[in-house]
Each structure stands twice: as C-alpha cells, then as structure tokens.
Chain A
Amino acid sequence: MLFWIAVAVMTALVAILLLLPLARAGKGASLPEAEDRDKEAAVYRDQLKEIARDRENGLISEAEADYARAEIARRLIAAEARGGDASAAERPRRRRLAEMLVIVALPAIGVPLYLLTGAPGLPDQPLEARLENPGQNIELLLAKMERHLLQNPEDGKGWDLVAPIYYRNQVFDRAVEAYRNAVRLQGASPERSGNFAEALIALDGGKVGEEAVAQLNAVLKIAPGDARARFYLALSLEQQGKRAEAFQAFQAIRKDAPADAPYLELVDRHIAATDPSKPAPPAEAAAPGNPDAADVAAAEGMSGADRQQMIMGMVETLAARLQNEPDNFEGWMRLVRSYGVLGMKDKAAEALATALKNFPADTDKGGQLKALGESMGITAEGGK
C-alpha cells in the first residue's frame, strides 16, 4: 500500500512539473520569434568583434578583414530579415488537450509498463540486514558462518559446523577443505576424521584414496573397533583388487557387528562380491566406484545417529518452507535430491509430485525436475 502511495506521489509530482509551463504560458505568452532572430544575430555580431580583434593583433590584413566583414554583414542582414510575423493565436483547446495527454499518459502507460516487469512493493533485501536476521534460512546461516570463518580461519568449531552442511549439499571440495581445517584445529576424532575421509572419498567419486586411508587409520588408532573406518579400509582393499584380504576384512566387520546393525546388509553384499570361492564379478557390475545412496546412508548409520537427525531437521525445514513458497524451483530440486540421497524414496516421490504441479513436466524447469527424479530412480507416481 505504502508503495502505491509513493508511486502516486511520484507520478503526481512529475505531472505537476510538466503541467507548469502549459499553465504559465497559457496567460498569453507569444512566440519569441524576434528574440530568436536576435540570438542568431548575436553570433554574427560577435564574429564581427572577432575580426576586429584579429585585425588589432595583426593576424589578418586590412583587406582580409574587410572581406570577412562584408561576408558576416550579409549573414547578419539575412538573419534579421528572416522570420514571419509572430502572431501566436491563443488556442486553449490545444493546450487543454496537451494537459489531458500529460495527465492520462503518465499513469496509463507508466503503470502497465511497470507491472509488466516490476514486483510491486517487494521490499529491498540488502545482504547485511539479511545476515543480521537470518531467521530459519539455512543458506543465510551458512553464509554468515562462512563470513565468520573468513575473518577467523582458526575457529575449529566453526569448521566443524559447516563441514557436514557442505557434505550434505554435495559441495565436496568445500567439505574436504572444512574437514581438513577442523581436523587440523580440533584434532582427530573417530567422528571427525571418519567424516573427513568420507568427504575425501566422495570428492574422489567413491575411490578410497591415500589421504582417506591415512585418516581412516587415524580413526582406528583412537577407536580400533570403528565399523565405518574398517568398512572403508576394506573397501579400499576391494578397490585395489585384493579380494581375499577384502573378504577377510568384511567378514571381520560382520563378526563384530551387533545383530541389529543397520549396515549388515551392505557388508553382506560386499562379502558376497569379494568371496574368493566365487569368480570375480565382471568389472562393470563390481565397479566399487560410487558408493550408492544405500552405501552412504548405511555408512552414516555406523557413526552418530544424531547427525542424521540434524540433517533430517534441515530437510524438514526446507520442506516446510516450500509449503509457503511453492514456486521456489531451486528449493524443490534440493528437496527431491535430499530425500533421494537419504534413501527416502516415498518422500522424494511425494515432493517430486508436488513440485511437478507447480512446474509442469513439459516446461523447462519441470523437465529438469523430472530428469533429476529419473536419475535417482524416483517417479512422481508414487516411488519405486
């Protein structure tokens, strides 16, 4: 409302300014044609003065000066002779028409043209103010934390906080950097170093590299029984083609696992894959490359379940936000991806279906949503 008042005031001010000359001149001003002729003549009179100056300084000869004077005088006479009678008959009707045009055109053209592209009344959102009052916006909180870390790069707790968020958002390079800082500043711990290793593995596209192995060994030094670290080390063996050793390692994990461990199924699969009594599966199928969503989810289960809960909390917040902002395309993409990665296919399918209502599948954005769903094996019609 305030916005439209401001718009009205602005339009009115402009209109008044434009109407001013129409109203003032309306009181019988006549066309200043004589004045116009004077202005032209003034130029030539000035040129005559210039000739005199040049002559005085000896820059031109008397004969040249005479020539020039004669020429300019001719222009002067021509200028003064020109112009007709300056009888500007008063025609109030025409002026009223112009006034009407001004009054009508400003709002009649201006407002629709503005509405075509404008977002009436949408408040400004300077970044500082948003960072001071981030509310529940996780991205803003993250940005705030990032700024803090840029100023205080030695704040280990801060790195500890942002690292899992990067990991969750699949920004693995930043996650690795954050975990590296956190481990450097806060020291190794089964949880932290394990996560660091996991981030490194994710950045490497599922390959357990040297740095990751070093971190996993550090975990085992503190907590020799850590199932996650043992699992990834075994996986590393499997990836190196040492099937027998991998088989033993996986079996050892199986033996030490509690009966209700969520990762049993995963370990069993790997035991089956590395069983030396069976022929090695074709490289394609065995490709231990990417740990699939289940791998990740299961591996998560090996360490703190509270972290899982925190992640779930973030996803729920996003879902709640999207209830109010159904046309937030990026948000829907993220939500579907999050559910998919977490293995909650039903929820993912549900989210995808809602999103597709706002972005029909035959539109560009809808197409992107659909493609995302397909890539994760999710269909809008109710999961798989």
Chain B
Amino acid sequence: MIVELGHFALVIALVVSLLVSVVPVYGVMKRDPALMALAPIGTLVVFGLVAIAFAVLTHAHFTSDFSVMNVWQNSHSLVPALYKISGVWGNHEGSMMLWLLILTLFSAMVAAFSSNLPVRLRTLVLAVQGWIAAAFSLFIVLTSNPFIRLDPAPVEGQDLNPVLQDVGLAIHPPLLYLGYVGFSVCFSFAVAALIEGRIDAAWARWVRPWALGAWAFLTLGIAMGSYWAYYELGWGGWWFWDPVENASFMPWLAGTALLHSALVMEKRDALKIWTILLSILTFSLSLLGTFLVRSGVLTSVHAFASDPTRGIFILVLLLLFIGGALSLFAFRAGTLRSGGLFAPISREGSLVLNNLILTVSTASVLIGTLYPMLMETLTGEKISVGAPFFNLTFGLLMVPLLIVLPFGPLLAWKRADLPGASQRLFVAVLLALVLGLAVFYAEQGGPVMAVLGLAAGFYIVFGALVDLWGRAGFGRVASGQAFRRLFGLPRSAFGTALAHLGFGVTVLGIVAVTAFATEKVAEVKPGATVEAGGYQLRFDGMKDAKGPNYTESRAHFTVSRGGATVGDVWSSKRIYMARKMPTTEAGILTFGLSQLYVSLGDPTPDGGIVLRVWWKPTILCIWLGAVIMAVGGFVSLSDRRLRVGAPRRAANRTALPSPLEAAE
C-alpha cells in the first residue's frame, strides 16, 4: 500500500503544481496578497509530496519489491544495498523522478530562503517553477511512471545495468542534476522579470547565488562523470565529445557566461537584456540535454530505454518552454531599459569578450552535437563529427580565452588601464613560461604546442594569484598590512581566484595528458613485464573470484620502479550473472597526480592475455581543477554580501554564512 500512496502523492504533487502555476499569477495580476501567498506554501507542499513519492520508490527498490515494474526491470535481489538505492535513478523513470525531486527542492529553497525578494517577483518565480514542475510531473505520470505495478509479482528482477553498478552512479547524477536543474531558477527569474517588464541591477544580485550554486554543482557533476567514464569504461579516455557529455557541457559553458554577465549587470546595470537571454538559454540547453538523453535519440549508456512517445512529449515540453520564453523575450526585450556605459578596455569589456567566446564555443559544441543527428534524420546518412572537429573549433576558441582570462579581474570597472594590468601580469607570464619549459625538458621532446599549453595553464594559475596579491596590496603597503588585507578580502574575490586557478589546473592536466600520455598494447604471459611511464608492471597471473552478483577473472600486477616494488594492482573482467553481461574493471594505480592504468583484453590461446597499459601523467589535475573551480563557486556563494539585502539580516555581521544561508 505504501507504493500506491507514493504514486498518489506524485499525482497530487502534479495537481498542486498546477494550482501554484495559476492561482498566484492571477494574484499578481489582481494585486491580491492572499492569492500570491499560495505560491510559497504550495511550492513547499509540492516538494514534500515529491519527496514522499521519491522515498517510497527508494524503499521499493531497497526491499526488492518486484511488484513495482520499475524495480523488476532495474534491480535484482543480489545487487549490493548501495546500488539498490542508487539504482533508483539508474533508469529512465527513476532519473526523471530525481530530476523532479531536485527541481522541487530548488523551488522549495526559493520559497523558504528568499524573504529578501520582492513579493511579486518571488511569486512569479515560484509560479514559473510551478509550470516546469507541473509539466515534468505530467510527463512522469503519463509516459514514465515508476509506480506501475505487476500482479502477480515476478520473483526476480532483471538487474541493474552492470556498467552502472558503481559508486559513480550514486554521486554523478545527483550532482549533475543539481547543476542542470539549478539553472531552472535562473530561467524562472528571467521569465518572471520579463512578465513584470522590468529588470535592474538588484535582479542580478538576487539571481547570482542560484547561478553560482548551480554552476558549482554542474562543474562537479561533469567532472565526476568524466572520471567515472575514465575508470569504468576501460578505454583510458576522460572526455569523448560524446553527445551526452556535450549535453551537459553546453549548459556549463552558457552558465559560465551567465555568471560573468550577471556580474556586469549587478555592478554596472549593463548587459541586462543579454543576461536575461543567457538565463533562458542556459536552462534551455539543460532541457535540450534532457531531451537528447531521455528521448532515445541518442544511444548510449545514458539512454536507458528509448520510447518515441516520451521523445515527442519532451520535444513538446522543450518547444513550449524554450519557445515560450524566447517569444516572451522577443516581445518584451524592446521595452527593457539598458544602461551602464563602458569603454572597451575595462572589466565589463573583458567580461563581454568572455561571454562572446563562451557563447560561440557553446554554439560550436551545439552544432557538432546536433549536425550529425540532423543529417541522419534528413538524408539517412550516418556521419560522425568526432573529436577532431571539437578539438579544432573548441580548442581554437579557447586560445584567446586563456590569454585574456587573467586580465579580467585585474581590470577596473568602466574604463581601465591595460598597460598597468599587463605589468602586473608580467611576473605571472614569466613564471608560466619558465615552468612550461621546465616541464617540457623534464618530459623530453614534447611538441611545441604542449609547451605553450602548459605555459597557458601556469599563466592562468599565477594570474589568479597575482589578482589576489594585487588586491591585498603587496608591494604597495607593508607586508603585514597586506596579509591583513588579504584575509579581509571579500570571499567572492577568493572565489573568483580559486575558480580561475582551478581552470588553469584543468588546462595543465589536459595539456600534459594529451601531450605526454603513453599507451602500450602487449600480449603477455604470467611473469612477463611491461614498461610504462618509467614503471615496470609484472603480470603475476590470473585468478578467478566471485562477487555478490558477478564472477570475475582478475589479473594481478606488481609494479616496480628501478628494481624496487612500489605497489600492486588488480585489473579484472567481470561477468554479471543476471544479464550475462561482461564489463572490464580497469586497474588504476596513482602516483602523485599521475596514474598508471591497466585494462585487460582477450586471453590468447597460449595462456597469455592482451593488456593495454597507459601512463597518464598529471591526469588527476583535470578533475582536481574542476573541484577547485567548484570550491571557488561555493566560496563565492558563501560571501556575506550575497545574502545581504534583507535589512534585518544586514545587521548580523558576525554570523558565518553557510552556502545554504547564502540564498536568503
């Protein structure tokens, strides 16, 4: 009966979402505070109901209740407990439920923590969130209902896709959705502002925490997904320009642009229309990603089940929301007042350049992702736009970004002094070049592009530090005072520096791995040794082992360097019993930031086995950089100034705000 109550809770959540979408808007039109007051309470109720439904579904998965079709299709009684729970969103219906849960969570947070928002704006924001929630719960109830029952219930489930039986599934989708769906709040703010017909600097201030939070989570989500693909798929690659990856990367690029343009809007009351458009586009790209992944247009590990009715339903939602928002934009943009003038060389100018580059790169990724699909639909011809296209277009676009990035924070608002900024960056450039060359010589004979790439990475890292250095006033005031001032800097300054520094670290990782990674394919017999990255791997032999729901044959390797043993690693091939599906589990050994990656191929008839061994120098920098970026986002989010706004809160200076409070 619990299952059925969960189902009913979901349906009622849909009805309440509909009420929240309609009644408060009428209240805004009629200036009736009572009707408007339905928005926050209704939003909280919707969240409560969706949370109940989600908890019920999780319970059904946990107890292996195979009378629930979704559990039967995607679980198995022998799956370990953690994967029983993460398996809830390891399938289409469940992942849409997670989507909805996070959407309503964000709505609830807006309802609970934005007493500093004007009531009319807040009401409209919540109503727009209500539209999205209503549309998606309708989608779930009608086409992707996870509460469909089977009677009589089967005895055993069909198992969770073995590739998804990994801690990655527990972490990656929730983080990614927190990012994806978090941008819905920015979208709602934009639509609300358009309905109201006015936007100003304060709007950007109110939106910024949501954009920051969503961006930081999306950064982590993408990084996690990339690392998961790296260690689980056994190809040793960390980014494949796969359409599904691109689907999450596009909102990230647009969201990054949004963060920066919102800054200009907040400080200078400029770029307002553009910021609104970016808010709409970012969430539209999230929706597009959802459509691409969920409709079965793409076949990948993410497309759990393809069903054309679902695709059409999402397509209609997509057109409704994106088309509606953009029409509203076109209709209203003319009436919005723009303001705030600035010279080309200024903080604003650099941010405009940033926006320009990010938007163009988003467009290039979008074209690269959609073009093959369009071609296939129109001509039936299968073409592949692979890594070369993206590396060329995207890579080229990133070059100016890398050069300009460190200048941004150094430039003054409105009009700035370029030579002055360059002078301050000189140290960073010098250090970067020296270190870039040093690494080049250490690795001996990498291509010239790698040196420049490494230099660019270091340049961004030091550029970020120079910014903090300069703000603290080192060199201009006594160092004691400078340190005091360094610690007194607003957290958003640290956030900016960290995010930029993180980006630099990621660039370093990417360049180093691309230029210096080695790959070796060898046929070995027990006792044989393979050399990679200066380490010797001795293949000790195979062993059969049994897991809770799989059998595997594992190969053991002893790793040594210069004769001394430095570690050992297992690499295995598994067969998951329920689906009779093989997977490879790569063996990964970490040395500092670099990794040795061993993946097993097929056994040879004479008792040996085919091995693929990669040496991945400083590969961890790629994800470490992303984590630093996200931390920068959270640090910035915790900035006291972001939560100021409600007069009564402003007095409370001593309290340390947590990221959640920052939304107040």
B202 engages A22 (CB within 8 Å): no
Nearest Cβ in chain B — how far from A371, in angstroms?
22
Query: In the complex, A24 Cα to B267 Cα: how many Å?
Result: 39
Chain B: CB-nearest residue to A57 = B485
Complex Cα gap A25–B24 (Å): 13
B34 with A26: CB separation less than 8 A: yes
Q: For residue A109, which residues in chain B have a CB less than 8 angstroms away from its CB?
A: 14-15, 18
A123 close to B (CB within 8 Å) = yes
Contact of A42 among B49, B60, B490, B647 (CB under 8 A): B647
Please, which residues of chain B bring their CB within 8 A of the CB of A39?
Answer: 116-118, 645-646
CA distance A79 to B645 in the complex (A): 14
Distance (whole angstroms) from the CB of A374 to the closest CB of chain B:
27
Within 8 Å of chain B (Cβ to Cβ): is A113? yes
Q: Roughly how many angstroms separate A106 CA and B11 CA in the complex, as a whole number?
A: 9
Q: Contact between A42 and B645 (Cβ–Cβ < 8 Å)?
A: yes
Report the separation of the CA atoms of residues A31 and B2 in the bound assembly, to the nearest whole angstrom: 42
Chain B count of residues within 8 A CB distance of the other chain:
81
Contacts of A308 in B (CB 8 A): none
- Whether A43 touches B30, Cβ cut-off 8 Å, given contacts A67-B414, A122-B149, is no
Whether B202 contacts A40 by the Cβ 8 Å rule is: yes
B151-159, B310-318, B388-396 - interface stretch: B151-159
User: Is A59 within 8 A of B147, CB to CB?
Assistant: no
0/1 interface trace, chain A 1-45, chain B, CB 8 Å (1 if under):
011001100110010011011101110011110011111101110
Asked whether A124 is an interface residue with its Cβ less than 8 Å from the other chain, the reply is: yes
CB of B350, distance to nearest CB on chain A (Å): 17
Contacts A58-B473, A95-B35; A122 near B12 (Cβ below 8 A): no
What is the CA–CA distance of A53 and B32 in the complex, to the nearest angstrom?
40
A298 to B616, CA, bound (A): 65
B19 touches A101 (CB 8 A): yes
Is B200 interfacial (CB-CB < 8 Å)? Answer: yes
Q: In whole angstroms, how far apart are the Cα atoms of A124 and B66 in the complex?
A: 9
- Say whether, besides A122-B3, A126-B63, A14 and B641 are in contact (CB < 8 Å): no
Asked whether A94 is an interface residue with its Cβ less than 8 Å from the other chain, the reply is yes
CA distance A113 to B140 in the complex (A): 12
- A14 adjacent to B269 (CB under 8 Å): no
What 1/0 flags go to B32-44 for Cβ under 8 Å of A? 1111011001100
The answer to whether B147 and A117 touch across the interface, beta carbons within 8 angstroms, is: yes
B543 at the interface (CB under 8 A from A): no
Q: Does B201 contact A (CB under 8 A)?
A: yes
Contact present for B202 and A114 (CB under 8 Å): no
Asked if B650 CB lies within 8 Å of chain A CBs, one says yes
For residue B53, give the distance in angstroms from its CB to the closest CB of chain A.
11
Are A42 and B644 in contact, with the CB atoms below 8 A? yes
Q: Does B488 make an interface contact (CB < 8 A)? A: yes
Which listed segment binds B: A136-144, A216-224, A251-259? Answer: A136-144
- For residue B119, CB closer than 8 A to chain A, the reply is yes
CA distance A143 to B37 in the complex (A): 54
Q: Count contacts on A: residues with CB < 8 A to the other chain.
A: 80
Residue of B at shortest CB range from A60? Answer: B412
For A36, give its contact among B118, B412, B477 (CB under 8 Å). Answer: B118
Within 8 A of A (CB), among B87-129: 116-121
Judging by beta carbons under 8 Å apart, are B202 and A79 in contact? yes
B584: interface (CB < 8 Å): no
Cα(A150)–Cα(B549), bound, Å? 10
Cross-chain contact of A123 among B1, B7, B63, B66 (Cβ < 8 A)? B1
Contact residues in B for A30 (Cβ distance below 8 Å): 33
B520 within 8 Å of A (CB atoms): no
User: A328 near B: Cβ within 8 Å?
Assistant: yes
Known: A40-B202, A42-B647, A98-B23. Is A18-B16 also a contact (CB below 8 A)?
yes
* Contact present for A119 and B149 (CB under 8 Å): yes
B233 within 8 A of A: no
User: Which one of A14, A110, A123, A126 lies within 8 Å of B64 (CB-CB)?
Assistant: A126
In the complex, are the beta carbons of B38 and A22 less than 8 A apart? Answer: yes
CB-nearest residue of chain A relative to B414?
A: A67
CB <8 Å contact, B60 and A124: yes
Q: How far in angstroms is the closest Cβ of chain B from A287?
A: 30
In the complex, the chain A residue whose C-beta lies closest to that of B60 is A124
Given A21-B34, A94-B32: A40 and B41 interface contact (C-beta under 8 Å): no
Question: In the complex, what distance in Å separates the CA atom of A86 from the CA atom of B206?
Answer: 23
List the A side residues contacting B7 at CB < 8 Å: 114, 117-118
Contacts A17-B45, A43-B202, A118-B8; A95 near B647 (Cβ below 8 A): no
What residues on B are CB-neighbors of A31 within 8 Å? 31-33, 119
Cβ of B370 within 8 Å of any chain A Cβ, yes or no, is: no
Check A128 against B63 for contact (C-beta < 8 Å): yes
B12 contacts across to A, CB distance below 8 A: 10-11, 14, 106, 110
- From 469 to 492 in chain B, residues with beta carbon under 8 angstroms from any chain A beta carbon are 471, 473, 476-477, 485, 488-490
Known: A14-B45, A58-B473, A75-B269. A7 touches B33 (CB 8 A): no
B202 closest partner in A (C-beta): A43
Residue interface mask B523-539, A partner, CB < 8 A = 1: 00000000000000000
Q: Mark B494-518, 1 if CB is under 8 A from A, else 0.
A: 0000000000000000000000000
Q: Do residues A113 and B37 form an inter-chain contact, with CB atoms below 8 A? A: no
* 1/0 contact string of B637-664 vs chain A (CB within 8 Å): 0000100111100100000000000000
Known: A20-B41, A114-B7, A130-B153. A44 touches B202 (CB 8 A): yes
With A110-B15, A125-B153 given, is the CB distance from A2 to B1 under 8 Å?
A: yes
- CB of B348 within 8 Å of the partner chain: no
Chain B residues near A328: list those with CB within 8 A: 152
A102 within 8 A of B: yes
The answer on a CB contact under 8 Å between A124 and B2 is yes
Tell me whether A57 and B488 are in contact (CB under 8 A): yes
Please tell me which one of the listed residues B3, B65, B147, B471 contacts residue A127 in the complex, with CB atoms under 8 A apart.
B65
B205 interfacial contact with A, CB 8 Å = yes
**Is A325 interfacial (CB-CB < 8 Å)?**
yes
A325 to B152, CA, bound (A): 8
Q: For the complex, what is the distance from the CA of A110 to the CA of B49, rounded to whole Å?
A: 13
| Least CB distance, A60 to chain B, in whole angstroms | 7
| With contact pairs A36-B118, A113-B141 given, residues A88 and B4 touching in the complex (Cβ less than 8 Å) | no
Closest to A30 in B: B33
B256 contacts A by Cβ under 8 Å: no
> A42 to B60, alpha carbons, bound, how many Å?
48
Asked whether A71 is an interface residue with its Cβ less than 8 Å from the other chain, the reply is: yes
CB distance from B266 to the nearest CB of A (A): 8
Q: How far is the CA of A150 from the CA of B11 in the complex (A)?
A: 41
- Selected from B34, B142, B152, the residue in CB contact (under 8 A) with A25 is B34
Least Cβ–Cβ distance between A54 and chain B, in angstroms: 9
Complex interface: chain B residues within 8 A of A130 (CB): 153, 155
Residue of A nearest to B2 (CB): A124
Q: With A14-B49, A59-B471, A88-B31 as given contacts, are A50 and B641 in contact (CB-CB < 8 Å)?
A: yes
Closest to B648 in A: A42
Q: Cβ of A64 < 8 Å from any Cβ of B? A: yes
Starting from the known contacts A59-B471, A114-B11, 16 additional A-B residue pairs (CB-CB under 8 Å) come to A21-B34, A25-B37, A30-B33, A32-B119, A42-B116, A58-B477, A68-B413, A79-B202, A94-B32, A101-B19, A102-B23, A105-B18, A116-B141, A127-B65, A143-B155, A150-B78
A-B contact pairs, 5 of them (CB 8 A): A10-B5, A120-B4, A122-B4, A126-B64, A127-B77
The 9 closest A-B pairs by CB, nearest first: A25-B34, A126-B63, A21-B37, A36-B118, A127-B64, A43-B202, A125-B67, A119-B149, A139-B155
